[in-house]
Amino acid sequence: MAQFDEPKGKISLLVGILITALGIIPLLNRVGVLGFNLPEFILKLVPAVAIWIIPAAGFFLFIDAFDEDDTIRTVTIIVAFLLIVLGIIQILNQFGVIGFGLPLTDMVYYIAFVVEGLFLIIATFAMF
């Protein structure tokens, strides 16, 4: 059951909802399901900030995975690890530490936000 009596469960839920909304609203708008979108300044900010949010939220998801039930723990750890690596590669490329980067579009960032957010929401309810 959900761990709403602990701050960690509330934080996971709040961060998960915010990150999911940051990804799903532009995705649904681009597909034509929603008639509205996030404000323009947020949409322009996403590519610059996403390379920092994705590994940070991935690390938070990685920590939450150890409090989850055994059935979803492994999947959550793998997803968190992949998202951390995705973000770290972009950060290291930005600083010139590695000579390659991943050609990611805004759509990839939005999908990563949705996946990360949903796993954080699931982590809230899967904690034991």
pLDDT mean by block of 10 residues, the chain; 128 residues: 62 92 89 83 83 92 87 92 93 90 85 94 80
Residue 104: which of 53, 51, 56 has the closest Cα?
A: 51
Note whether residue 1 is domain-resident. Answer: no
Note whether residue 39 is domain-resident. Answer: no
pLDDT at 76: 92
pLDDT at 78: 95
pLDDT at 115: 95
pLDDT at 100: 85
pTM as predicted: 0.84
Count of structural domains, the chain: 1
Note whether residue 49 is domain-resident. Answer: no
The answer to whether 116 and 19 are in contact (CB under 8 A) is yes
The answer to whether 68 and 126 are in contact (CB under 8 A) is yes
State which residues form the domain around 60.
7-32+54-126
Helices (H) and strands (E) in the chain, counts: 4, 0
pLDDT at 4: 54
The answer to whether 120 and 13 are in contact (CB under 8 A) is yes
pLDDT at 56: 94
Residue 59: which of 125, 119, 106, 104 has the closest Cα?
A: 119
pLDDT at 5: 56
